[in-house]
Each structure stands twice: as C-alpha cells, then as structure tokens.
C-alpha cells in the first residue's frame, strides 16, 4: 500500500486584526489576563463571508504551489464546526466555488480535533487507492458562534482556514506513518453549542437565551486537555520508538499556550521545536494545525523527512495524535 503524503499546503486568515485591547473596551478583561492565561495577543475575525470563504483562498494557494488545477482534485474533506449550512455540506460549497468538478466529498465534525480526525480518514482513502488527490480543509468561522458579551469565551477564538493536499507516495519513509484517535462522549456537556440542532431546534427562546453560542466550562476542559494531550503524545512516541531528539516539530492544536507548554514539557521537548501561533490567531478550531503547517512551510522551517507529531484535544471530548514525516522540500 502506498503512503499518504502531504504534497502541498495553503492557509488564509481574514485581514481584520482584533487585538486584546478590543475586548478591554467593553468587557471586564485585560490584555495582561488574556496573555497570561491563554497566550493570545490578537486574532482575526471575518467581517463578511462564510467558512467556505476562509477555505477558498487557502485552497487556491495550495493548488498553485503544487501546480495543479481544481479539476485535478478527486475528493474534498472539510473539518469544521461552523459549516456554511447544515446541508449541503461545506465540502459541496467548496467544490462549487473552487470549480473542483470531479471531486466528491463530505464534512467531518470533531471540533478542535477535526483536522487530526480528518487527516486519518483522508490518509486511509489515499492509502486504499480510493483517492489520488485529496484536498483536506480545516476551517472555522468561530466569530459566527461566539458570544461577544461573554468574556470567558469571546477572547479565546479566531477565524481561519488551512488546507493540505494528500497524494499517494511510493516512498515508505515519508507521509502519515501512525495515528491514535480517542473520544469520550461523557465530556460533551463541558464544551458545546446547546441549541440549533435537533436536540434543541432554534426558537425565539433559544435565541433570547443565547444558546446558539459556544458554552465552555473552561477549567474542566483545561484539566482534561492537559492530561490527554500529554498522554496521547507519549503514546505515539512510545509506539514508534521516538525520543524527543528525533522530533523536528510538535504541531499542537492552539487552544491555550499553557496546555501546549505542558505537553512539550511531558515530551521533554524544548519550546523552539513547538509550532506556536496562538498569539496571533487565537483558537481557530479545525484550522489551527494546517495553519501552522502552512506557515512553517512558507517560512522554510520544514524540511523533507522532518518527523512531526500533530496532537489535538477538543469538544466531544475528542483527541488524538498523528506521526508523520514531512514529504516536501523547503520552498525556493
């Protein structure tokens, strides 16, 4: 079986920057609190458009870097919790907007673990020969489901999109090499959007009660995230005989700098080997990991054969880690 290798990347964030001082103007919060408790200094919010509009520029960049056109894509997977619509899928919207007329596809919902979950599914499709050029998108317009009057959640999130192209590779040494995924539905109550689905359809009451926004019991989720992120990372290192010095980059989901630091510490990894951009983008949910990959590639900080560990934790609870070896040379 061929390996599934990442053969191109792209990303997009909206132009409008909202520094912490934006929230200081109308909420009982401070730049110092936000930086100290989360590591976030600013984030981007899309003033117009939907989640698919965060994906399209990232997808175009990804295709251009690979030198192929949208018609060459045979499958599109979109990981998101902020789809354009309940249906049709955001993948179908992306297919139309991009002109990827030969692609089938679907959305995948695993919140902050969406990209990792989707990467595993995508890799299996490519390994099985069912897809040869798969566009994997992680994107969220979190500003569409964040309560801007709630200081406990408003400051945490941002909007963004990241895209990777997966293709089969006959070289067994590079590509997606291993993965572990977990879920514990008991954690669902601590991080969710209460209304809008079939459990609680939209009504005047749900709107008045502000139930169409992210609800999070932050401290509970934080504690679980610290434990699970470290646990799953150590597990994938052990399974593959990896020591800290073998790893070029840890690519963690960007929810809180303290969670990221704790994970790196447990791995024995210094922070200069950890991709961190939460200070500039906040938590963009399914977009955080592909955003990191694309930015680091663009900056020439990723090289062929680099060993990466991708790790995430999110609503569900869902969590997991992927071990891959980078299959692209540095850009010219």
The residues assigned a catalytic role are 112, 253, 283
CB of 43 to ligand COA, least distance (A): 13
CB of 31 to ligand COA, least distance (A): 10
CB of 172 to ligand COA, least distance (A): 34
Q: Which residue is nearest to ligand COA (CB)?
A: 218
CB of 311 to ligand COA, least distance (A): 12
Longest dimension (CA), the chain: 57
Closest CB to ligand COA among residues 62, 155: 155
Rg (CA), the chain: 19
The footprint of ligand COA (CB under 6 A) covers 29, 33-34, 37-38, 112, 151-152, 155-156, 191, 218-219, 221-222, 225, 255-256, 259, 283, 313-314
Which residues have C-beta within 8 Å of that of residue 75, sequence separation ≥ 6? Answer: 103, 104, 105, 122, 125, 130, 131, 133, 134, 135
Q: How far apart are CA 225 and CA 295, in angstroms?
A: 25
Q: How far apart are CA 57 and CA 252, in angstroms?
A: 23
Closest CB to ligand COA among residues 283, 294: 283
Closest CB to ligand COA among residues 33, 106: 33
Of 138, 177, 119, nearest to 290 by C-alpha is: 138
Secondary structure letter of residue 188 according to DSSP: G
Residue 176: what are its φ and ψ, rounded to 5°? -75, 115
Closest CB to ligand COA among residues 110, 165: 110
Closest CB to ligand COA among residues 54, 255: 255
Residue 6: what are its φ and ψ, rounded to 5°? -80, 115
CB of 257 to ligand COA, least distance (A): 9
Query: Pairing relation of β-strands 134-141 and 75-79?
Result: parallel
Q: How far apart are CA 173 and CA 171, in angstroms?
A: 6
DSSP-H helix ranges across the chain: 20-24, 31-38, 51-66, 90-98, 114-127, 151-154, 204-208, 218-239, 257-267, 278-281, 288-298
């Amino acid at each position: 079986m061929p390996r599934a290798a990442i053969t191109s990347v792209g990303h997009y964030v909206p132009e409008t920057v909202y520094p912490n001082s934006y929230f200081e103007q109308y909420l009982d919060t401070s730049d110092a609190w936000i930086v100290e408790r989360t590591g976030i200094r600013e984030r981007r919010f899309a003033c117009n458009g939907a989640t698919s509009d965060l994906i399209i520029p990232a997808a175009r960049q990804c295709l251009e870097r690979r030198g192929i056109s949208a018609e060459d894509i045979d499958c599109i997977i979109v990981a998101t919790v902020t789809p354009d619509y309940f249906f049709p899928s955001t993948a179908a919207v992306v297919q139309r907007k991009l002109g990827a007329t030969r692609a089938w596809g679907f959305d995948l919902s695993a919140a902050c673990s969406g990209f990792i979950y989707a990467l595993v599914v995508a890799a299996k499709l490519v390994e099985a020969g069912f897809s040869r050029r798969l566009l994997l998108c992680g994107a969220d317009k979190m500003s569409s489901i964040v309560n801007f009057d709630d200081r406990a959640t408003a400051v945490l999130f941002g909007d963004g999109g990241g895209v990777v192209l997966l293709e089969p590779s006959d070289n067994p040494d590079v590509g997606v090499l291993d993965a572990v995924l977990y879920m514990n539905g008991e954690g669902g109550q601590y991080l969710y959007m209460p209304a809008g689905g079939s459990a609680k359809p939209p009504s005047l009451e749900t709107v008045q009660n502000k139930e169409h926004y992210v609800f999070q019991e932050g401290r509970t989720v934080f504690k679980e995230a610290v434990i699970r992120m470290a646990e799953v990372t150590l597990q994938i290192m052990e399974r593959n005989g990896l020591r800290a010095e073998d790893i070029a980059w840890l690519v963690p989901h960007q929810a809180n700098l303290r969670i990221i630091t704790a994970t790196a510490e447990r791995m024995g990894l210094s922070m200069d080997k950890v991709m961190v951009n939460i200070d500039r983008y906040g938590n963009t949910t399914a977009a955080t990991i592909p955003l990191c990959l694309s930015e680091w590639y663009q900056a020439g900080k990723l090289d062929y054969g680099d060993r990466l560990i991708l790790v995430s934790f999110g609503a569900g609870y869902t969590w997991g880690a992927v071990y891959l070896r980078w299959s692209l040379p540095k850009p010219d």
